[in-house]
Amino acid sequence: MGGLMTRGYLDGDAPAVAALLNRIKVHAGGHPYLIADELQSRVSTMVRDHAEDARVLFVDGELVAFGGVPTPPSGGFKVDLMGGVDPRWRGRSIGRDLLDWQLRRAAEIHAAVAPERDWEIHIGTADGDADAKRLYRRFGLAPVRYWFQMATPTTMRTTQKIRDLMVAFIQAPGPPAYSPTGSVARTSHGATPASFARA
């Protein structure tokens, strides 16, 4: 592996970073989900200092990883870490070093911005991303909830289907059930893929 080069995030990085995050999603069995403008909007609104709180990592000019550390809004408590390592570049300690930096940087931001409040680190991954889950467990992180994503065309004939789905969510009976150990039952509440596919 050539030399690893790290620098702060620049606005022009958005297309490459969005493509990276899409590759990570597809590797885990999902579908591309980001475009450059959406990624740029997230970074611009959530990451306070692009030079200090977001990193892009390159090897021989190729983007191999990205990490961002958002600052919660005033009165907030969630630090939703963002980023990941290209699947082709895993197994080289890049992810471990990046996550270590993210956690340390989150602690520094917390101490500077709101030391009187408790903050929580939140990080998400697709269930099929075994590498990411293994890395997070190594740092003492554990799953607390599961999400599922669904999609449908936005044509007029799907209007009733979307209304039905919204009603299913609104009528969902209560919050997800947690076990005494903190693990989460893998159940969907109210809306299901079957109900989403209903004509």
Domain hosting residue 102, numbered range: 4-142
158 or 106: which leads in pLDDT: 106
Number of domains in the chain: 2
User: Which pTM value belongs to this model?
Assistant: 0.76
What pLDDT does 158 receive?
A: 56
- Confidence at 142, pLDDT banded by 50, 70, 90: confident
d(CA 25, CA 149): 12
| Residue 168 and residue 129 share a domain | no
Residue 153 amino acid letter: P
The pLDDT tens digits of the residues spanning 10-41 come to 999 999 999 999 999 999 998 898 999 999 99
Mean pLDDT, range 188-196, rounded to an integer: 49
pLDDT over 90 percentage in the chain: 64
| Residue 77 and residue 33 share a domain | yes
Query: Residue 21's closest CA among 42, 4, 50, 5?
Result: 42
Last residue of one domain, picked from the residues 114, 142, 170 = 142
Instruction: Classify residue 101 by its DSSP letter.
Output: H
| Residue 175 and residue 82 share a domain | no
| Residue 190 and residue 128 share a domain | no
The pLDDT tens digits of the residues spanning 32-69 come to 989 999 999 999 999 999 999 999 999 999 999 999 99
Last residue of one domain, picked from the residues 126, 142, 158 = 142
| Residue 123 and residue 187 share a domain | no
| Residue 133 and residue 186 share a domain | no
CB neighbours (10 Å) of residue 154?
8
| Residue 121 and residue 37 share a domain | yes
